[in-house]
Structure 1
Amino acid sequence: MTNDTDAALSGKIMCHALWARDGRRLADFYATVLGTKVSRTFPDESGNNVAFAFHVNGAMYLFYTSESFQPPTWPEEELPFHMDFTFPDVEVAEKRLLQMGATKPGHQPGGKHWTVLLDPSGQPFCIHGTH
């Protein structure tokens, strides 16, 4: 007999939530990166849309607007979380992401293995070529 503390968990990610000064802009950015569009908005108690979402492969990506948001000071501070993306042609993807508002910091710890970019809110993410 197995008790509840020994049973394996089998959770699934339901939602990835990120904050930014402009949640809509960040939602549009990542929706484009993932080949979709923002499909849902959530208002605050005053009726102002403050959260923006889309779904990919059953998981929701949710982006909140927060006037007090401050981007991390990476690489000086360690990141508690970041996202990695793969693309069939990483050079083309990098150019397109930069056109969309990403920036490329000077610090590139991945060498030839990955490239670090900063999204429009200043949060780092990594891009890789498809292996």
Structure 2
Amino acid sequence: MAKSNAAATGTVKCAAFWGHDGKALADFYAAALGWKVTQTFGDTAAMISDGTTTYVFYTAESFKAPDWPADELVFHLDLTFADVEAAERRLIERGATKPAHQPGGTHWTVLLDPSGQPFCISAAGTNG
């Protein structure tokens, strides 16, 4: 039997995140991305989607945000926006904070989501 030369491929169905309040995080990222909260699971979790990608946010009572930049990050999101300055203002109004440490220079901005987890924002079409 001949071996197939086709590479195995997959599709990301969902990514999961934990924080102090999964529902609040889902609301924050849904607003940040212009997505919808598509399902909630009591007060413990909520899902958001754009129709092709889904994120689920869980409440973890023992959650501890990383002490960034001292702690290495296991994972973080990079979000792009047409108007980064307006996005930054809007995200801060929705509960994000901007740490003093900004290693991206003019290429990207680091914000902390309401649970204290870092994520980056940059202009669409830039490498961050």
**Please, what TM-score do these two structures have when normalized by structure 2?**
0.91
Q: Which amino acid aligns with 1:24?
A: K
Measure the CA separation in 1 of the matches of 2:51 and 2:21: 25
Provide the C-alpha distance between the structure 1 equivalents of 2:82 and 2:54, rounded to a whole number of angstroms: 24
Letter of the 2:15 counterpart: H
> Which amino acid letter does the alignment assign opposite residue 104 of structure 1?
K
Verify: 1:99 aligned to 2:100, yes or no: no
Structure 1 residue 99, shift from structure 2 partner: 0.5
Distance 1:129 1:57 in 2: 23
Q: Which runs of 5+ in 2 are unaligned?
A: none
Taking the TM superposition and a 5 Å limit, the aligned residue runs for 1:81-96 are 81-96=75-90
1:45 alignment partner in structure 2: none
Instruction: Give the Cα separation in 2 of the matches to 1:92 and 1:104.
Output: 14
The alpha carbon displacement at 1:52 in A equals 0.2
Percentage identity across aligned positions?
Answer: 56
Counterpart of 1:127 (choices 95, 106, 121) is 121
Q: 1:36 Cα shift? A: 2.1
Any unmatched runs of 5+ in structure 1?
A: 43-47
Partner residue of 2:67 out of 54, 66, 73: 73
In structure 2, the residue corresponding to 1:80 is in which secondary structure? coil
**Aligned residue identity for 1:20:** G
Paired residues for 1:1-131 under 5 Å: 1-2=2-3, 8-42=7-41, 48-131=42-125
